[in-house]
Amino acid sequence: MALETGELHPLFVAEASGIDLRRPLDPAQVQAIEQAMDEYAVLVFRDQTLSQAEQIRFAMSFGPLDLGLRKLPAGPAAVNHRLEFEALIDISNVAPDGGVAKRDSRKVFSNIANQLWHSDSSFQRPKAQYSMLSAVVLPSETEFADLRAAYDALPDDLKHEIATLETEHFALHSRFALGDTDYTEAQMAAIPPVRWPLAQVHPTSGRKLLFVGVHARAIIGYSLPEGRMLLSDLLEHATRREFVYRHEWRVGDLVMWDNRATIHRGRRYDLTERRELRRSTTEDLLPVRMAAA
């Protein structure tokens, strides 16, 4: 069957149907999904209850898989991994014994960090391309913001100012801000800071975008306080209500988003309630261009 889409937000996001994600995709289906992602940046597939193997196969249709913070040696995302595949990221508050993790556990710390606006793996090179999140048990919601619309709405003088600026992204910047500082020198060195243009051109759609998020900790060439204040202002701008879609999860949803065009955050929920989602993510192997290029 052919992919069909229906808009869920005036600026981005569509509900996608017509393809059974449990079955291998043919080249035409992969191309159709990629084209829809260029247009909408977020696709919501309903009633797609995937096994772990099916989710991995679907993700691999779009490129090599990213491990994110699971690359950290003996890090909290690497130990006690309870899923079948290393490249599946466990977005849950489920402890290794199958119960609900204690609210002061490292796993819960990680979930709380996910409640900050971010782009997956912007702290590494290559950064993430697509993320695919499959809902198993879910007491919370997720918000997405369109970085393309945010760029379009910037005043011209600010577009000019940021056109050639670079930002430094660091994996543990958000964790430190939340008081999660128990990392070794080896862990911090495993994913060193990387630099990305603040204003970019999306590699396949050609649209300009504002690449901000909580992993960005400095602007190259600006003093630390000046850079952080500008990043804070730009993140506030990018997450204005008119640029944001709030997804209310259903069991069986698979939401796919473009980390190059959006940022997202989980919303606060009762930590005593079981929450379980599985994320697969692909690497972005295309070159990154400044908006001024």
pLDDT at 76 over 70: no
* Percent of the chain clearing pLDDT 90 (strictly above): 74
Q: What is the pTM of this model?
A: 0.94
Dist CA 82 CA 103 (whole Å): 18
Q: What is the pLDDT of residue 181?
A: 79
Mean pLDDT of 140-156: 97
Domains and CATH numbers, the chain: 4-284 (3.60.130.10)
Q: How confident is the model at residue 74 (pLDDT cuts 50, 70, 90)?
A: low
pLDDT of res. 70: 66
Angstrom distance (rounded) from CA 254 to CA 51: 12
pLDDT at residue 78 above 70? no
pLDDT at 125: 92
> What number is the average pLDDT over the span 184-190?
82
pLDDT digits (tens, 9 = 90+) for 208-251: 999 999 999 999 999 999 999 999 999 999 999 999 999 999 99
* Average pLDDT value for the chain: 92
Beta bridge partners of 6: 15
33-58 confidence digits (pLDDT tens): 999 999 999 999 999 999 999 999 99
| pLDDT tens digits along 89-147 | 999 898 888 899 998 888 888 888 899 999 999 999 999 999 999 999 987 899 999 99
Q: What confidence score (pLDDT) does residue 5 get?
A: 98
